A = this chain, B = another copy of it.
C-alpha cells in the first residue's frame, strides 16, 4: 500500500502538476466530480460519469472524455487508495490568450485519489447547520453543471468555518433555500420528505438522487418544492447529503434543536448498504 496521502494522473501521466495555461486555472473552465471510494472501487461511477459528460457537453468542451480511459486510470490509482475519495477534473484544455478557445483545443484530465474520509463522526452525532450570507446566483445557462466556478461555495464555506457551523444553508436572491455549501438538503414534514427544487440554480447531487430513490423504495413520499428558512425551522427534522459524507442529520438549526429522526437513520443505513454494494 502506498504511504503517500494522495496520488494523481494528469493526462495519463503520474504527475501532480498542470500547465499554467490550463483553462481550469485561468477561468475555472471545466467540470469535476468527487466520488467516494469503497473497497478500491469508485461508488456510483455511472451517474457521476453521466453528469460529467453532461457538463462537458453543456460547456461545449470540444472532445468528450473517454470514460473507459478514466476508469482505467481510476482503477490504477485506487489500488493504493482503496478507501477514500477520487476527484476527476476535466478542463477545456490549455490556451494562451483570452476567453475564446481554438477549435482544436484538447481537454485536460486530472484524477486525484486520496485516502480516508473525515466525516464519519458527524454522521453519527449529527451537525450544526447555519445560514450563509453568501447567495447562489442564478445563471440559468450554468445551472446544474458541476463546473469549476465555485467561488460562491468557497465563500459560503469560509462563513461556516468562521461561525463553527458544520454546514450552511445557501439561498438564492429570492430568499429560496437551494442547498448547503457542499451538500443537498432534505426536510421532514408530516411524514413526507421535502427537498428544494433545483431548476434555477443548485446542483442535483448524485447522493440526493440516491436518497430520493431509496425513500421511494421505502414508501416515503418525496417532494421537490420551494422552501424558505421558515419551512426549515418548522420542519420535523433536517439532514444534508453528498457523495462523500452520505447523510448528516441536523441536530441544531438557528435556534431550533432537533432529535435525529428514525427515518433519517433508516435512510442513512440504507444509503450505506447502497454504497457497500455499489463499491
A residues in contact (CB < 8 Å) with B: 5-6, 8, 10, 16-29, 32, 59-60, 89, 91-92, 96-101, 110, 112, 114, 118, 133-142, 147-158, 160-161, 173, 181-182
List, in ascending order, chain B residues with CB within 8 A of A22's CB: 25
Taken together as a complex, chains A and B put the C-alpha atoms of A25 and B97 apart, in Å, by 17
Closest to A8 in B: B20
List, in ascending order, chain B residues with CB within 8 A of A20's CB: 8, 10, 16-18, 89, 110, 112
List, in ascending order, chain B residues with CB within 8 A of A27's CB: 28, 148-151, 153-154
Copies of this protein in the assembly total: 2
Taken together as a complex, chains A and B put the C-alpha atoms of A25 and B150 apart, in Å, by 10
Beyond A98-B182, A99-B181, A182-B99, whether A158 also contacts B29 by CB under 8 A is no
List, in ascending order, chain B residues with CB within 8 A of A140's CB: 135
Closest to A29 in B: B154
Beyond A135-B140, A139-B137, A161-B100, whether A28 also contacts B148 by CB under 8 A is yes
Find out whether the CB atom of A99 lies under 8 angstroms from the CB atom of B135.
Answer: no
List, in ascending order, chain B residues with CB within 8 A of A26's CB: 32, 89, 148, 150
Taken together as a complex, chains A and B put the C-alpha atoms of A156 and B6 apart, in Å, by 36
List, in ascending order, chain B residues with CB within 8 A of A137's CB: 137-139, 142
List, in ascending order, chain B residues with CB within 8 A of A135's CB: 139-141
Beyond A16-B19, A25-B89, A141-B135, whether A100 also contacts B160 by CB under 8 A is yes
Taken together as a complex, chains A and B put the C-alpha atoms of A29 and B149 apart, in Å, by 8
List, in ascending order, chain B residues with CB within 8 A of A32's CB: 26
